[in-house]
């Protein structure tokens, strides 16, 4: 299978919703993330919930799961997002998750650049993310990558915790003018 994009020796492959459960071992390895953002470890069915928790009316074609695969074939990360949401040409990244050993070496920034290129080629002009208030490292990452704050949402209950989420935005391209 040909990758959609890659950074270093980690390649992104689109997988079908039916394969979402294959992310479960990765999610369990990312216990630090789940404790920080949900106040608990990943649930036993956490990976299956990736596709079930999409907004109502979102079709499988609008949602996407991308497995980040190292040269050994191990799934070391994931992108979960939506295209043409909430309107045509706008994308929303629900989750960028890298296993602990893959963090802090520039891999996330490289993969994000490839993801943005892939979205541009798919006709997306804007990319939004939500940053959990208790995750200041994530806020630094998204700010460093050129995302701008839009608005705070919440507080909302997420797992065992309640906090606000900062919606951030990055313009990928200017939409074509309509005559």
Q: Digits of tens for pLDDT over the chain (179 positions)?
A: 689 999 999 999 999 999 999 999 999 999 999 999 999 999 999 999 888 888 888 877 789 999 999 999 999 999 999 999 999 999 999 999 999 999 988 999 999 999 999 999 999 999 999 999 999 999 999 999 999 999 999 999 999 999 999 999 999 987 665 55
Please report the pLDDT score of residue 178 as a whole number: 54
* Residue 63 CB coordination number (10 Å): 19
| CATH of the structural domain 5-171, one choice from 3.40.50.300, 3.40.630.30, 3.30.465.10, 3.40.50.10300 | 3.40.630.30
Q: Where are the domains of the chain?
A: 5-171
For residue 19, CA distances in Å to 9, 15, 49, 70 come to 22, 7, 12, 18
């Amino acid at each position: 299978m040909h990758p959609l994009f890659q950074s270093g020796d980690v390649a992104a492959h689109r997988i079908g919703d039916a394969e979402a459960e294959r992310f479960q071992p990765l999610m369990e390895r990312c216990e630090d993330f789940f404790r920080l953002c949900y106040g608990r470890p990943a649930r036993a069915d956490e990976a299956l919930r990736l596709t079930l928790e999409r907004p109502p009316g979102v079709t499988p074609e609008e949602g996407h799961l991308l497995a980040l695969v190292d040269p050994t074939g191990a799934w070391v990360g994931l992108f979960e997002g939506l295209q043409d949401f909430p309107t045509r040409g706008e994308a929303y990244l629900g989750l960028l998750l890298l296993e602990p050993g893959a963090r802090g070496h520039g891999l996330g920034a490289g993969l994000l650049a490839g993801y943005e290129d892939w979205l541009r080629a798919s006709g997306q002009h804007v990319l939004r993310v939500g940053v959990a208030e208790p995750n200041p490292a994530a806020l630094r990452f998204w700010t460093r990558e050129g995302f701008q704050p839009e608005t705070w949402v919440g507080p909302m209950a997420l797992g065992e915790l309640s906090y606000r989420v900062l919606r951030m935005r990055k313009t990928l391209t200017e939409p074509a003018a309509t005559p």
